[in-house]
Homo-oligomer: A and B are copies of this chain.
Amino acid sequence: MNANAHPTPEWQVAQWFNAIAPLTLASLHGRVVLLEAFQMLCPGCVAHALPQAQRVRQLFPEERLAVVGLHSVFEHHAAMTPVALHAFLHEYRLTFPVGVDRPSPDGPLPMTMQAYGMRGTPTLLLFDRAGRLRQHLFGQVEDLALGAHLAMLLAEA
C-alpha cells in the first residue's frame, strides 16, 4: 500500500465536547489516531461503533493512541444538533473527545465527511504516527480485525 496516496486534509470541526482544547490531526502527530465518524441517531453507530471506540479507549494507552469521535451529520440536521449531541454523550457515558463536523454551506454533507469521501456512518479512519491515513472502513468492523490494525500501527517504528 502506498500510504501517501491518501490525502489527509485537516479536520473541520465547529465545536468540541470532552476536550479542553481543539484537537487537530497535526497536533496528534506522534500518536496513532482512531477517528470514529458517527451520527447520534444511526443505530449501527450506537449499537456497535461507539461502544467499540470506548473499548479501544479503555484497552490502549492514551499516550500512544488517540481516540476521537466526529459527529458527521448528513441527514436529520434539525434533530442532531450540538445540544442533542451533548445530552447523548452524557447519557451514553462516552468520554473521549468528540468534534462536530463543520456543516457545509453547499449541501447536507459536512466538510470533513466530504473531504475524506466518507460514504456514511459509522466510518472509522486510522492514521499512523506520521498522520497518514492507513485505513478507511465503512460499517461494522470486527474487534479482532481492529485490534490487529491498531497493533500494526503501534508497532511501526
Chain A positions within 8 Å of B, measured between CB atoms, are 41-43, 46-47, 52, 55-56, 59-60, 75-76, 78-81, 83-84, 86-88, 90-92, 142-152, 154-155
Contact A59:B147 (CB < 8 A) given known A43-B92, A83-B79 = no
Min Cβ gap A149→B in Å is: 7
Chain A interface mostly: helix
Assuming A43-B92, A144-B146, what are 18 further A-B pairs, CB within 8 angstroms?
A41-B84, A42-B91, A46-B46, A47-B47, A55-B144, A76-B90, A76-B91, A79-B86, A79-B87, A80-B84, A142-B143, A143-B147, A144-B144, A147-B148, A147-B149, A147-B150, A148-B154, A151-B155
